[in-house]
Amino acid sequence: MIDPSAPQMVELLGMLGSTELYVGDGFAALASRSQFNVIDSISGWKVDLIIRKDRKFSVVEFERRLPAAIGGVQVWIVTPEDSILSKPEWGRPSGSERQMRATQAMYEASAVGDVRAQPVEDVAQLPFGSLGSDDLHRRS
């Protein structure tokens, strides 16, 4: 998840400008608060750059990000519990059963202590609108 200003998006897209990279429309994603992706045409690696939504839950989700190293690159990722809450929102428009299965697996892992100490139910109390957490509880 990223939260760039328009000038920061210009800078980011400039840094990504390369013949080896496919870069989606970052400006459209910024305007609609959605996502775009970057694909390395040589290795096939793909990164989804998700623009932070303009709502309380997403602000808190962004503040709770965790540092991680992926392929030797230092990045920030959302917490597992925040991903559990927001993943159904991404899968709902497409009706993706795969997204729901992945979310269910993450939720079940949280029940056995593989996820950070703050319970999903505590995070779910934030005023973020309907993210599908009720769907998770019905499935579990």
**How many structural domains are present in the chain?**
2
Identify which of 88, 59, 77 has the alpha carbon closest to the alpha carbon of residue 115. Answer: 77
Predicted TM-score of the model (pTM): 0.65
80 and 12, same domain (yes or no): no
**In this predicted model, what pLDDT tens digit does every residue of 57-113 receive, in sequence order?**
888 889 999 998 988 889 888 887 888 777 766 666 666 677 677 777 777 776 555
117 and 84, same domain (yes or no): yes
75 and 46, same domain (yes or no): no
Q: Is the pLDDT confidence value at 31 over 60?
A: yes
Question: Domain range spanning residue 72?
Answer: 67-140
Asked, for residue 57, whether it belongs to a domain, the answer is: no
Asked, for residue 23, whether it belongs to a domain, the answer is: yes
120 and 73, same domain (yes or no): yes
35 and 87, same domain (yes or no): no
Identify which of 87, 72, 65, 2 has the alpha carbon closest to the alpha carbon of residue 36. Answer: 2
Asked, for residue 62, whether it belongs to a domain, the answer is: no
- As to burial, measured by CB atoms within 10 angstroms (0-12 exposed, 13-18 middle, 19+ buried), residue 24 is middle
